[in-house]
Structure 1
Amino acid sequence: MDGVTATGVRAAARIVARADGRGGTSLPVLDGEGPLAPRRTRASGPGAKVMVVGAMSGPLGGDRLTLTARVEEGARLHVGSAAATIALPGQAKGEARYDVRLDVADGGELHWLPEQLISAGGSDLRITTRVELGAGARLVLREEQVLGRAGEEPGRLTSRLTVRIAGRTVLDQELACGPGAPGGWDGPAVLAGHRAVGQLVVASPEFADRPVAARMLGEGAALLPLAGPAVLVSAVAPDALRLRRLLEEARMVLGC
């Protein structure tokens, strides 16, 4: 259950997508608490579409938010968000935590395309995203982080992304930025002075037969094949608009 305590908000949201037997996708579970409010919206195809609406400000210092989504065999789900998520300082001490858990069964398909996460000055957020995919699952996942609002120094942001396919880890990376982060995060080997960073992960059984070669995708973006039927696009940019453009161009290259 959700609630507000002296150490921040505790809230969770759950989404379950299931094939309805008629070529479409049903949502037998769609619920959320506090600042996490998932809402079904009109989809353009046979899959289901959900928008996560921020019902409250945050995450704030001390908050603990959890969002889980499961796509069952034969189901297709597209998840976005109504607006950017802004990590803000709060009255409670300590870091905020936002945990995302995604599970896609063999034969399921998930497009996870939220808006940007903005690390406002004075905030401290740790976000972890863990993805479990069946061997024949399909995934398009986009993450975008923006360090600070216009003219503002960023807060501290720690982001970890883990992807497993058929029980095998194909990606496990962590990036820490902002005040108190390990030295070098803003140097030439990491962000090189950029204030927007993002990644696109695409998993598809077709990549097993048609491997994608590593290459640059314009200035600031690189495509790397993963040790499985998946690819990773990493990008840095001076601002959120340029970052989105780079990742959308990557989606076009990959046909997703």
Structure 2
Amino acid sequence: MTALAPAGVEATARITAVPDGLGGTRLPVLESDGPLALRRTRGAGAYARVTVVGAMSAPLGGDRLAIEAGVRDGAALTVDSAAATVALPGRGGRPARYDVRLTAGAGACLRWLPEPLISARGSDLRMTTRVELAACARLVLREEQVLGRYGEETGTLTTRLTVHRAGRPLLDQELAYGPGAPGGWDGAAVLGGNRAAGQLLVVRPEFEHSPPETALLGDNGVLTPLAGPAVLVTAVAADALGLRRVLDRALRTFG
């Protein structure tokens, strides 16, 4: 249910993917809410595909938005978006929240590939992504942040990505940019003058026995194996296009 109040919009969209018994995946739950409109689009192979379409400008200051996606045992799901998400300032200077909660069961495959998140000047967004994976689940997750629209300063953006596999921590990472963020976020040791940052996380059971080695991806990215069957690609770039090139190259290799 969507509530519109002085504090902003509250909305939660939900997706559930289950095997269809014929080698594919069906979606018994595809529930849009508020500015989060979900559309089933053409998938590939066993994967069902859902595209998030923004039904209005969001998130604005004071909004509380969430997406929940559950992939049951043996199902396969790709979630992407039709356009970038733009965090905008709202009335009263209140921060917005955007929470993503993902689960994947035994033998399930989840590809979470949204378009970039753009932090517009004057905005304040707190975003969290929480992932729970079964021991033999597969995950491809991409996150991209663009700090300000063309020619403008960034807003305030805090993101946290937490991933658990078989009930144990796999990754817990927090990033903060913009006014009010800890000092040094725009310095040479972090962004180095770049305006876009992102990461690609790939979890595959076979990495348990043959993990990729640490590698530089040109001048802007690095691939790091994690203490688990996963690799994390981290990259920065001058703009969203340059960032996507680095992450797409890793995605073609591991995703």
TM-score grouping bracket, smaller chain normalisation: over 0.9
Structure 1, gaps ≥5 residues long: none
Q: Within the alignment, does 1:64 sit opposite 2:49 as a pair? A: no
* Cα shift at 1:58: 1.1
* Cα shift at 1:105: 0.5
* Cα shift at 1:46: 2.1
Q: Within the alignment, does 1:166 sit opposite 2:166 as a pair? A: yes
Q: When the two structures are superposed, what TM-score results if normalisation uses the length of structure 2?
A: 0.98
Q: Within the alignment, does 1:207 sit opposite 2:212 as a pair? A: no
Equivalent runs, 1:232-247 vs 2, <5 Å: 232-247=232-247
Q: Count how many residue pairs are aligned between Structure 1 and Structure 2.
A: 255
* Mapped partners of 2:203, 2:251: distance in 1: 12
CA deviations on 1:60-106 (whole Å, 9 max, x unpaired) are: 00000010000011100000001000000011431000000000001
Q: Within the alignment, does 1:43 sit opposite 2:40 as a pair? A: no
- Give the residue type in structure 1 aligned to 2:168: R
Q: Within the alignment, does 1:186 sit opposite 2:190 as a pair? A: no
SS in 1 for 2:118: strand
* Cα shift at 1:188: 1.4
* Cα shift at 1:44: 2.5
> In the superposition, relative to structure 1, how do residues 107 and 186 fare at CA in structure 2: closer, same or farther (>3 Å)?
same
* Cα shift at 1:163: 0.9
Q: Which residue of structure 1 aligns with residue 119 of structure 2?
A: 119
Q: Which residue of structure 2 aligns with residue 130 of structure 1?
A: 130
Larger CA deviation: 206-215 vs 139-148: 206-215
* Mapped partners of 1:92, 1:134: distance in 2: 42
CA RMSD between the two structures: 0.8
CA deviations on 1:187-206 (whole Å, 9 max, x unpaired) are: 11211111100000000101
Q: When the two structures are superposed, what TM-score results if normalisation uses the length of structure 1?
A: 0.98
Q: Which residue of structure 1 aligns with residue 32 of structure 2?
A: 32
Could you tell me the percent identity over the aligned residues?
A: 64
* Mapped partners of 1:92, 1:12: distance in 2: 23
Q: Which residue of structure 2 aligns with residue 17 of structure 1?
A: 17
* Cα shift at 1:253: 2.6
CA deviations on 1:98-138 (whole Å, 9 max, x unpaired) are: 00000000100000000000000000001000111100000
Structure 2, gaps ≥5 residues long: none
Poorly superposed stretches of 4+, deviation over 4 Å: none
* Mapped partners of 2:77, 2:141: distance in 1: 12
* Mapped partners of 2:166, 2:213: distance in 1: 22
